[in-house]
Amino acid sequence: MANISRRQFGEILGMSLLASQLPKVAAANSATIVKPPRLQPGDTVGLISPASPVDREDVADAVAAMNQLGLKAKLGAHILDEYGYLAGSDANRAADVNTMFRDGTVKAIITMRGGWGCNRILPLLDYNLIRQNPKIIIGFSDITSLLLAIYARTGIVTFHGPVGISSWNSFSVNYFQRLLFAGESVTLRNPRTLRVQTITGGQTRGRLVGGNLSVIASMLGSDYLPDWGKTILFVEEIDEHIYSIDRLLTQLKIAGILDKIAGFIFAECTDCTAGEGDEPSLTLNQVLQDIIKPLGIPAWYGAAIGHIRDKFTVPLGVEAEIDAGLGTIRLLESAVM
C-alpha cells in the first residue's frame, strides 16, 4: 500500500472494528456468486478515490487511459477531495461508491489508488443497493477492503487489478480486456521477468480470494470477510520488513484461515527488506517454509499480482485451478456475464 506504512497500521486499525456493529450477513458461496455484466466498447466507467487522495494530473492520466481502452470516464463527485491522508471524509468517499453503483449509466468502477481508508467506509456502504446493481469494481492495495467486503456481503465477483494511476501497459491491458471485455476463462501466466519459487508442488482447485496481506489482516474479526473454506488465497505486500510478513502470516494462521484454504500464492513482496542495519533476520523464503510449507497444500511465491508494473486482473470468487510447479492460475469459468 502507498503512503501509509504497515508499522502505522496499529494506530488506526481499531477503526475497522466498527464493522462488528452491523448485522452479520452470510458469506459468499457457490450458490450466491453473481457475475457482473462485461464491458463493451463505448461504455462509461466511474472513477473514484475511496482511499488516499489523487491530484488533477492523476485523474487526467486515468481518463486518458480509459479513453485508450475505448471507454468513457465519469468522475466521482469527491474524486479530488483531501482530508489529511484520506481522499475526503468517510461519508463522501462512501457516497461516491454508492452513487456509482446506483448510476445506471456507469458499467464499471475503477478506483484511483490505494493508500489507506477503505476499511473506514465499509460500514457506510449500501450493500443492498450494490447487490441489486452488480457491476465490475477493480483495484488493489487498500482497495482489497472493498473487493473482499462487496464479495462477502453480496456475492458479486470483484477484481484485483490495475487502479487509475497504474501503468496501463500492454501486459496489464491484455488481461484486463480478456477478462472484462471478452469474458475469457484465461490462464494467468507470469511475464518472463518474474520467476516462480515453488513452496509445495501440486495442483488444486478452489475459489480465488485475496489481496493485500496487511489489509486482510486488518479486517480479521469483522463481518466483511468471506468463507475461506476450499479457497485459493493469494496475497501481496510492499515495503515491509520480513518480521512483519512473519507476523501477518502468523496472524492468518492462528485465526484459522490458513488451515481452511486449498492453495496459497504469495504473489510479490515489493521492496520487502530484512530489517534495519545488521539486526538478525530470517529470509522471506524461510518464513514461507516455516508457515506455509507445513500446510501441505500447493503453494508458490512469485505471481504478477500487486505493487508491480505488469499485473494480472484477478477475479475474486471465481473457480480456478492452480499449478504450483508452473505458477499458473487457470480460470475455470468466465468472471463476467
Q: Which residues are catalytic?
A: 141, 236, 307
Contact 137, 112 (CB under 8 A): no
Where do we find the cell 477492503?
A: 145
* 266/7 Cα distance (integer angstroms): 20
Of 110, 104, 147, nearest in space to 129 by CA:
104
| Residue 177 DSSP label | H
* Rounded Cα distance, 55 and 92, in Å: 17
β-bridge partners, 159 = 138, 315
Instruction: Enumerate the H helices of 203-283 as residue ranges.
Output: 213-219, 242-254
- What is the C-alpha separation between 337 and 105, in angstroms, rounded? 17
Torsion of CA 9, 238, 265, 179, to 10 degrees: 100
> Who's near 174: CB < 8 A, 6+ residues apart?
none
